[in-house]
């Protein structure tokens, strides 16, 4: 199975867990996934762990019987055996999520341009390129902080989770503010068709980088 197939099977098989075991497993799953490790190896171990827990549940055992009293330590021990993500895969993931971000942004612009045919006040003939430079920097910092906050909140205080949401909202506000401050600077003309074209190209690039990243990750796991 490839990574996508393992994730799909994991989603299906998790439905067999009872409420208590599901909560424990999903905490472990999220914590392990948030580490910068090989995605293929991570999903392989998570699926194996799930099957082991399902089998234990069928014999009347709980997640605590399987993982022990210290789930945090158990997860850290598993993570230590998972190979780190390769630099090639890491770089491809950056390109993958950057193109997805731009695809999403231009999808919004595409919708606005379409609506402008019916609501002339929404018409925008040009956009500044500087806010896109800002959002690349903001998104990088935001992703790192949010991922760390999510990881820290699983076995620690939920304050980290609140901090992650706060940073995310600040990043959105920063982008919106930059579109106002830099309006009219480094502008390029836009219309419905140009926005639609950029959206499609960025999405196709996202899919391409995703495939390349998965291939690089699979190659690392098999070495």
Can you spell out the DSSP letters for 182-194?
TTTSSEEE--HHH
- Highest average pLDDT, of 41-50, 125-134, 211-220, comes from 41-50
**H helix or E strand, kind and range, residue 189:** strand 187-189
pLDDT reading at 223 higher than 70:
no
| Tens-place pLDDT, residues 155-195 | 766 676 677 778 778 877 887 888 788 888 888 899 999 99
- Highest average pLDDT, of 4-8, 60-64, 135-139, 198-202, comes from 198-202
Q: What is the pTM of this model?
A: 0.72
Q: What angle do CA 91, 95, 98 make, to 5 degrees?
A: 135
User: Strand pairing partners for 37?
Assistant: 84
**H helix or E strand, kind and range, residue 128:** strand 126-128
The arithmetic mean of pLDDT across residues 187-211, rounded, is 93
CB–CB of 136/125 below 8 Å? no
| Tens-place pLDDT, residues 24-40 | 999 999 899 888 788 88
Structure tokens at 61: 């055992």
pLDDT value of position 187: 87
CB–CB of 167/175 below 8 Å? no
pLDDT reading at 56 higher than 90:
yes
């Amino acid at each position: 199975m490839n990574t996508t197939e393992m994730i799909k099977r994991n989603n299906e098989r998790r439905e067999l867990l009872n409420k208590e075991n599901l909560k424990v497993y999903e905490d472990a799953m999220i914590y392990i996934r948030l580490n910068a490790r090989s995605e293929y190896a991570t999903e392989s171990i998570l699926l194996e762990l799930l099957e082991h827990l399902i089998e234990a549940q069928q014999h009347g055992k709980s997640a605590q019987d399987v993982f022990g009293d210290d789930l945090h330590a158990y997860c850290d021990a598993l993570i230590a055996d998972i190979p780190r993500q390769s630099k090639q895969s890491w770089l491809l993931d950056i390109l993958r999520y950057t193109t997805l971000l731009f695809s999403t942004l231009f999808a919004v612009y595409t919708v606005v341009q379409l609506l402008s045919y019916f609501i002339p006040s929404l018409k925008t003939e040009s956009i500044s390129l500087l806010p896109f430079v800002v959002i690349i920097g903001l998104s990088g910092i935001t992703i790192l902080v949010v991922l760390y906050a999510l990881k820290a909140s699983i076995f620690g205080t939920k304050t980290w989770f609140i901090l992650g949401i706060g940073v995310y909202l600040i990043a959105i506000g920063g982008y919106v503010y930059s579109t106002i401050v830099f309006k009219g600077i480094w502008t390029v003309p836009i219309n419905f068709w140009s926005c639609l074209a950029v959206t499609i190209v960025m999405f196709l690039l996202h899919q391409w980088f995703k495939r390349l990243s998965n291939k690089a990750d699979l190659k690392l796991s098999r070495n």
